[in-house]
Chains A and B, each alone.
Chain A
Amino acid sequence: MKILIIDDSLLARIAVKKCLIELKDLSIYEASDGVEGLSKFKDINPDIVFLDLTMPVMDGFVTLQEIKKLNEKVNVIVLTADIQTKTAEKVMNLGATMVLKKPPIKNEILQALDLIKEQLQKR
């Protein structure tokens, strides 16, 4: 399974990777803004994207829209510090699979991946 983490914070990217450390058969890729993220997305066509919203160059909202244009079915987990309900509504309307609050919690991340794997198997 290929995972792409798009976040301008190196610390945040490390935190997500650490949550995934015990999982096998994962290839993890990283990008530090939306533009780099889109470029890597085109190259690797990941199964799951972890996406931050507050980023320089191209924010997460625009990135999400662009990703969905490239692959409507890809699972995008938005990881954000923004606790506004409307933010969650917005990104879900843009096609996010789910929204998780920062900082990432290992159990939540793993549960999210299990849920996505289940859904992928049903397809």
Chain B
Amino acid sequence: MEKLIDKTILSEFEKDALKEIINLAFGDAAGTLADVMGMYVFLNVPVVDIMQPEDVVKYISKELELDSGFNIIEQYYIGKIKGVAFLVMSYENSESIISILNSDIYSLIKDHPIDLLAKETLMEIANIIIGACVSKIAELLADNVVYMPPRFVGENYSVDTIPKKVFNKNSYVIMLKTIFKFESKDINGIIFLVNSYESIKWLKNSINKFISTYV
């Protein structure tokens, strides 16, 4: 029997507040990323959704709609809020960003699909942007998270690879999505934060505490 998702567990106002939290967090993250890359970063309106774990891959695939292949870097974070962050970039955009950061040695590696240096570069970018974003969200919700090292997972991602201790298959996930775009180079990437539903009560309380301090 199909499970019924209680999407109303977070009210529209609480979702609105969560979007504003992501907006504040990504505003900080974009500043950090712009400093590292030396390029202006455009911010998009974040999305908040609640879904079943098995729908995560479907959702991400649908959201990507890329003609070419893509690279995914994942990074787990654990605090009162816990989950996994994905940085997704098309092959083309990955190459562009790697070439900017490693311009001197890019000519030596460009004929290889994604070699070690390129993977390291993408993982470093993921580490910076995910770390800045998640840490700010945690700070705004009075939480403290620890991070697992980022991991390059290519495009062969499957929900079965998500550790069951992070996501209970019988539960739900809270999906947060935002897109970043570098102005001058037409490079963009998507960040998905897939949060465990187990902490929903804590999250709801924390959002309401945030609301009471915000207004």
Contacts and interface: CB of A to CB of B under 8 A. Distances in A.
Nearest to B32: A83
Interface residues of A, number: 21
Instruction: Determine the interface band of chain B, counting residues with CB < 8 A from chain A.
Output: 20 to 34
A10 B43 contact: no
Interface in A29-84: 53-56, 80-84
Contact of B13 (A11, A82, A86): A11
A103 B40 contact: no
Contact of A18 (B16, B25, B31, B215): B215
Nearest to B183: A86
Q: B interface, by DSSP: helix, strand, loop or mixed? A: helix
A80 B27 contact: yes
Given A9-B23, A81-B23, A81-B28, A86 B40 contact: yes
Interface string B174-215: 000000000000000000000000000000000000010011
A87 B215 CA distance: 25
B28 A83 contact: yes
A83 B16 contact: no
A86 B20 contact: no
Given A11-B16, A103-B214, A81 B41 contact: no
Interface string B14-49: 001101100111111011001000001101110000
Given A12-B20, A86-B34, 18 more contacts: A8-B45, A9-B20, A9-B23, A11-B215, A53-B43, A54-B43, A54-B44, A55-B45, A81-B23, A81-B25, A81-B27, A82-B43, A83-B28, A84-B30, A84-B34, A86-B40, A102-B20, A103-B214
Interface of B: 13, 16-17, 19-20, 23-28, 30-31, 34, 40-41, 43-45, 211, 214-215
